[in-house]
Chains A and B, each alone.
Chain A
Amino acid sequence: MNVTVARLTARGLLGRRRGLLLLALPVLLLALSVLVRAIAGQDESTASNVLGGLALGTMVPLVGLVAGTGAIGPEIDDGSIIYLLSKPQPRWKIIISKLVVAVGCSVVFAALPTYFAGLILFGTYENLTLGYTIAALIAGVAYSALFLLLGVVSRHAVVWGLMYALLWETVVGQYVPGAQTLSVHQWALSIGEKIASPGVISSSVHLPTAVPLLLVATLGGAWLAASRLTRLTLAGEE
């Protein structure tokens, strides 16, 4: 962990339009929660739909995408990463620092808002809110690592990330049940399932499958990102 790298990353992430985007998503979720609660009242299945579909299914991956790719992609694109890399610092330290910032963003802009949305919608009953919050937290970590890796390896990281989060996890997952085995969303749900009262949250992946896959995705993503950053080459202008 390098404080300077983290500071630069955080300022880059939050200082520009990206910061507004990160803020807009949770504000939207909270506003919607207030609205839903006012209209539909305190209803378990409604709350579960909003938290599972909107918060965990859409906001968490989007925030992870913006934070994960945004933590490194723009610097690689415009070449300013050269100032971080031309230093006697191991590259994995740079990745870890950036990952910490991306995860921090996921906590602040995705997990915490999920918690507050849960409180607004359903209070603390049946550990529904806690289950979704922990799921959002864990999914946020995994998304951050995966999308950070995408940011290192691809110039079109946002497109690939969107395709994964929206197409694969949602659309493909709906029609091809097997695809859900490789879904951060489902892995995180399986942890939420254990935390909430029985039957409140359900996942299509079992916990013994989900936990190792989450670890592989997160640690493997970070490790691969560091190793790719070590071999990063700068194409010449010519």
Chain B
Amino acid sequence: MTTISIDRVSRWFGNVVAVNDVSMTIEPGVTGLLGPNGAGKSTLIHMMSGFLPPSSGSVTLDGTPIWKNQQAYKQIGLVPEREAMYDFLTGWDFVLANAELHGLPDPGAAAKRALATVEMEYAQERQVSTYSKGMKQRVKMASALVHEPAVLLLDEPFNGMDPRQRMQLMELLRRFGAEGRTVLFSSHILEEVEQLARHIEVIVAGRHAASGDYRKIRRLMTDRPHRYTVRSSDDRALAAALIADASTAGIELDLKEQQLQIQAVDFYRFTELVPRVAKEAGIRLLTVSPADESLESVFSYLVAAK
């Protein structure tokens, strides 16, 4: 059982706060670190992998600080986001070198096993520079697995992968999680995280926005107030009918633009309500479009709600 604890961690670069007072515990199983680009996910992973000291707070592996503690790498496998590796080596030489650097008793066998795990044996004699993005990702993965670490940290591992490779990697990570390893991966795509991680940590603008199982996160994201822009053949009549229902919290009649700005509080009920009310009143709906649906705004809502 290996656990990474992040305790009241902040990290700033000059005047820019990248991570702001975040506390979380990464336990065995698969955890997804979700947040929009630039939210501080990589900064957090760099701190968890010993490549950045926290400006304040502590990042520990089973109670031992990770920064400047090279022994921690006996338990940590890291799959960095950047693609650069030793491109002039073959896949085999690269993974073998990683096994040797870990000081494993039988680096050859370890490299063989790791390459088999990611199903890259067929291309192991080719130079890394000739690999596709997905293949590089898998070889990086093999290099991180070579010492069978208890903790696996992956920074945006699904970037640039095709759907099949994505499925394979997800399957692999699921297996590691089931084996009791602590697996943490970052992503900015909710669907991706939801498919794989039982537990999700959401980070937005450097702050810890939410934490919990994927159902809870999904609910948080759909239960928030939604804003809609609606145009119809009779805006005023439609507004009157909609405000009577508990699923709406406010409606603004925008005479200039000839449209309604609606604040809905119950997402599912509201989406069912609009067409029904319109039909009953004989009003024709011209536009029903959600405003501010970007991932960014969904996440910001979570931060504000916390």
Contact = CB atoms under 8 A, between A and B. Distances in A.
Interface of A: 2-5, 7-8, 11-12, 15-16, 78-80, 82-91, 230-238
Contact of A236 (B43, B73, B84, B101): B43
Interface residues of B, number: 38
A86 B86 contact: no
B38 interface: yes
B85 A86 contact: no
Given A83-B98, A86-B73, A237 B81 contact: yes
B175 interface: no
Interface of B: 13, 18, 37-43, 46, 49-53, 68, 70-74, 76, 78, 80-82, 84-86, 88-89, 97-98, 100-103, 143
A8 B40 contact: no
B134 to A, nearest CB: 19
A230 B52 CA distance: 11
Contact of A88 (B89, B97, B103): B103
B40 to A, nearest CB: 7
Contacts, number: 88
Nearest to A230: B68
A83 B85 contact: yes
Contacts of A3: 100
Given A4-B101, A236-B42, A12 B88 contact: yes
A230 B84 CA distance: 21
Given A86-B78, A234-B51, A80 B88 contact: no
Contacts of B80: 79, 82, 234
Contacts of B78: 82, 86
A152 to B, nearest CB: 15
Given A87-B102, A238-B37, A238-B42, 9 more contacts: A3-B100, A8-B89, A79-B80, A82-B82, A88-B71, A233-B52, A237-B42, A238-B39, A238-B41
B102 A85 contact: no
Nearest to B49: A86
A22 to B, nearest CB: 16
Contact of A87 (B37, B86, B101): B101
A90 B85 contact: no
Contacts of A236: 18, 42-43, 46
Nearest to B140: A83
A233 B82 contact: no
A83 B37 contact: no
